[in-house]
Amino acid sequence: MARSGPPALGELIRSRRELHELSMRQLARMAGISNPYLSQIERGLRAPSEQVLEAIARSLELSAETLYEQAGLAEEGEEQEEPEVVRAIEADPNLKLRQRQSLIEIYRAFLAENDVRRTRRRK
* pLDDT tens-digit map of 94-118: 988 888 888 888 887 777 777 656 6
Question: What DSSP letter does each residue of 66-92 carry, written as one string?
Answer: HHHHHTT-PPTTS--S--HHHHHHHH-
Distances (CA, A) of 90 to 80, 98, 121: 16, 11, 33
Distance in angstroms (rounded) separating the CA atoms of residues 48 and 33: 10
Distance between CA atoms of residues 49 and 61, nearest Å: 18
pLDDT of residue 116: 57
State the greatest distance between any 2 C-alpha atoms of the chain, in Å, as a whole number. 55
CATH superfamily entry for domain 1-80: lambda repressor-like DNA-binding domains (1.10.260.40)
CB distance 111 to 119 below 8 Å: no
The pTM of this model reads 0.57
Asked if the model's pLDDT at residue 8 lies above 80, the reply is: yes
Asked if 44 and 51 touch (Cβ cutoff 8 Å), the reply is no
